């Protein structure tokens, strides 16, 4: 359990890179951030670094960490598709085409001749086509990200103070012990503990067509699916590097 009166103790043999950033937490506490490769250090160092054990976190410790690290979910930002489309008309290439369109009707035919509407319309059509293609590609990428978010597990079986309970996956924090079995979606990036090796389908993340085998000590990532086996795992950070909270 993380306490406001004690610091996280690091193991000198583990591959840790330290930083000197200091920021406030609440009104009376401060924390220092250090970067630890929790995906590659030995599993016993993961427990020591996260100050947790195989009995799971207490409710109080989980709430403290949730306040520090935030919810285990991707932030979803809504934006206007129309404004997003217009944004593709605001770049250097579009500026050149827009300037050419203005010149086509303002400067192309002097001497009192009518504007060159054909060139103007042609340039505007090309501008719209270019912007439409860029918008469709960007929108498809956004849809793929939304589909990945939809795959994230809404519930997870987590060990809290020695008892298995079902909780929203969004409130999982580093140090939680979770159970993964056949058919489960991995609710958070984790390191596997003791149990049967898993076959993991991570095609949505890596593009691999076949499931990969993961055993004790291996890392599994949020959004992948268990196709075989049953095992426990310790939740690490959602990023490859974990920002360790050291209370001072």
Do 119 and 99 touch, CB atoms closer than 8 A? Answer: no
Residue written as token pair 């206007």:
80
What's the pLDDT tens digit per position in 10-61? 333 333 333 333 233 233 333 344 456 788 888 888 898 888 888 889 989 9
Residue 177: predicted pLDDT? 93
Do 203 and 147 touch, CB atoms closer than 8 A? Answer: no
Q: How confident is the model at residue 139 (pLDDT cuts 50, 70, 90)?
A: confident
Q: How confident is the model at residue 115 (pLDDT cuts 50, 70, 90)?
A: low
* Average pLDDT of the chain, as a whole number: 75
Average pLDDT over residues 72-81: 72
Both tokens of 67, joined, read: 């306040």
């Amino acid at each position: 359990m993380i306490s406001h009166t004690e610091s996280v103790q690091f193991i000198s043999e583990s591959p840790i890179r330290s930083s000197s950033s200091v920021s406030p937490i609440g009104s009376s506490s401060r924390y220092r951030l250090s970067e630890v490769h929790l995906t590659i250090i030995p599993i016993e160092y993961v427990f020591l670094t996260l100050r947790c054990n195989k009995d799971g976190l207490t409710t109080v410790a989980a709430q403290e960490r949730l306040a520090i690290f935030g919810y285990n979910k991707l932030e979803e930002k809504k934006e206007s598709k129309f404004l997003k489309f217009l944004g593709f008309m605001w770049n250097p290439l579009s500026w050149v085409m827009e300037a050419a369109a203005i010149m086509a009707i303002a400067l192309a035919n002097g001497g009192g001749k009518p504007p060159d509407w054909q060139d103007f319309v042609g340039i505007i059509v090309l501008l719209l086509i270019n912007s439409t293609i860029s918008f469709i590609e960007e929108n498809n990428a956004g849809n793929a990200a939304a589909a990945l978010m939809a795959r994230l597990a809404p519930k997870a079986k987590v060990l809290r103070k020695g008892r298995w309970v079902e909780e929203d996956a969004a409130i999982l924090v580093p140090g939680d012990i979770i159970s993964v079995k056949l058919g489960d979606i991995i609710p958070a990036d984790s390191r596997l503990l003791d149990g049967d090796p898993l076959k993991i389908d991570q095609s949505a993340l890596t593009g691999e067509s076949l499931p990969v085998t993961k055993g004790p000590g291996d890392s599994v990532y949020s959004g992948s699916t268990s196709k075989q086996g049953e095992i426990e795992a310790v939740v690490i950070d959602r990023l490859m590097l974990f920002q360790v909270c050291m209370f001072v």
